[in-house]
Amino acid sequence: MNQHIRSEIIHKQHHISIMGLMDAPEDQQCFLAAIQQRDGVEELHITVFEAKFLPAMVIEALKAHVNQYSNIPLKLFILHRHLSLYLSRLGLQNRLVFEKSLLPATSQQIRAVAIGGSAESLDKIFLIVKSLPLADISVFIVQHFPKDARNILDTLLLDKTRYRTVIPQDGTTIETNAIYIAPSDFHLKVEHGVIRLTKEAPVNYSRPSIDVLFESLSQEYKQGLLAILLCGYGSDGSHSLKTLAAHGARILIEDPLDCSARDMPQNALKTGYYHYKFPIQELAHYVSRIIRKEEMVFDHQEIMEFLNLLHKRYGYDYQEYSVESIKRRLQKMMLDRGFSQFEHFSSHVLQDSELFEELFLEFSINVTHFFRNPEVFYAIREKILPYLDTYPHIKIWCAGCSTGEEPYSLAMLLDEADLLKKSQIYATDINPFVIAEAKNGLYSMEPLDIDQQNYQASGGAKHFLDYFDQTFDILKIKPFLREKILFFQHSLVNSGILNEFQLILCRNVLIYFNQTLQKKTLRLFAESLDRRSFLILGESEALPVLEKECMFEEFDPLHKIFRKRKFVPPEQRISGL
């Protein structure tokens, strides 16, 4: 072992600690040697301390262990939020070690709390109810229970809460400061402030059903509902989450690692319709805080002063981003990290570089797929590639490339047009973590159906999977595509011209800028394009009239494809700013 990789076996548990950044080949090889020590090991614990990203070789080794040595369960502990999310997307279950307490605040007052649980959930319900502050809310609980046994949860909760605990009758009027517990063998619904008990058929093999309760409460309370799904077997509770999300309810899932009966939270997480996943202690703390709601107040001038100080302190300039977008992300960040007053929050961010890093990630928007909006890629294939073929060397810039799906999609297009060999793609993003992901070229197979459909709709001539090597349930971009793309960090706000390109894609980035920054960025693009070359924007973006008249002309308005005019007036160039 070396100073960055520590390994020891204690009571048949193999503990590996990753202390360094994992960017040195010798550290990676040391880790690979450590993870292969399996003699006498019954459980593998890996903790990642300093590393904020893991290289493909390490991730593939983790996947190999999970898939080939299921008799030695892996418990993975991560201290960096982005790494935790990245590994989760690749199907590597992990626990984020979250050090700071949560102090949530929400734009919508919580009026009702719904708790659903099955096997192993009783103690979790006790903990949540015990931590609930007395407030003007109504609480509803469905716990799976044998149909021939009387539910006595109301009695068990008496000494744990100041709320009234009630096993309701059909027609009971709902009041605040009360906890309503579904009786055995009855579905519990709410209609216009009244409880309805029904003997309708079991849902998900359950009566009472969590899905039935959640669906009913989402109609009744909409954004005023906080829904909590705890551990248990089966999938009850998962099917209603899409409806809850559509009505604006806040959805919390217990971390499956807290449970032996993991089916319910795992199935819920797979839907993607949830806001937070917490271990039970943090979940209870979160609920307590959100009920003790404190109103967040954002003063425009305070925000602008804060953004100016951020620029001076850390070098990132958000002063010309949309203020409403900034407010939404500040609110979420304050919610996650335990602040109700902006003054306290801004002071901590300016002093704590790790807290700023989390805010930076919150400001970065990363939502994408391969061949996203396939009709745009079809237009590139049919209308733009023939023009690019007239050049001896093709240079393309993907600005705001996120985790790499867009530049890799372009590389596939170029390959099928026999243009890849003479092409170079520059792929940039302000977020260094997504750039690292893109360089890794590893992707989950979960969205494969969507990606394949997009590829086919774009006019793909081969099989989408031909461009990947498969490692268990991870897809890895083939080297001949990776070597044609140069990924690096770049800011559209305060960086200059990169090169002279024949095509620039900047999709769904400008919508987060104010008009001044939009115009400045468009001038940057105009000076970065070769004569009569192309700019492609996102489906919800448009050129300001001034820029359309002076720098670009519409080439394909439907797909937001613009072409640089032959002459750009000097006053519209970057140098004229």
Q: Are 115 and 210 in contact (CB under 8 A)?
A: no
CA-only gyration radius of the chain, Å: 27
Mind giving me the DSSP string for 213-232?
Answer: HHHHHHHHHGGGEEEEE---
Which of 84, 118, 131, 218 is an active site residue? Answer: 118
- Cα(10)–Cα(41) distance, rounded to whole angstroms? 9
Angle at alpha carbon of residue 105, lines to 101 and 110, rounded to 5°: 120
* Long-range contacts of residues 416-420, Cβ cutoff 8 Å, at least 24 apart: 416/381, 416/460, 416/461, 416/462, 417/381, 417/385, 417/389, 419/385, 419/388, 419/389, 419/394, 420/480, 420/481, 420/484
Structure tokens at 239: 């099917």
- Cα(157)–Cα(166) distance, rounded to whole angstroms? 10
Q: Which helix (H) or strand (E) holds 336?
A: helix 323-337
- Cα(262)–Cα(254) distance, rounded to whole angstroms? 9
Q: Please enumerate in sequence order all residues whose Cβ is within 8 A of that of 233, keeping only pairs 6 or more positions apart, or say none.
A: 118, 119, 261, 263, 264
Q: Please enumerate in sequence order all residues whose Cβ is within 8 A of that of 415, keeping only pairs 6 or more positions apart, or say none.
A: 467, 480, 481
Note if 144 is an active site residue.
Answer: yes
Which of 27, 211, 236, 258 is an active site residue? Answer: 236
- Cα(176)–Cα(221) distance, rounded to whole angstroms? 13
Which of 144, 187, 239, 490 is an active site residue? Answer: 144
- Cα(548)–Cα(564) distance, rounded to whole angstroms? 9
Give which of 574, 541, 573 is closest to 557, Cα–Cα. Answer: 541
Note if 118 is an active site residue.
Answer: yes
Within a 13 Å sphere around the CA of 116, how many CA atoms are in the beta-carbon half? 32
Residue positions annotated with a catalytic role: 118, 144, 236
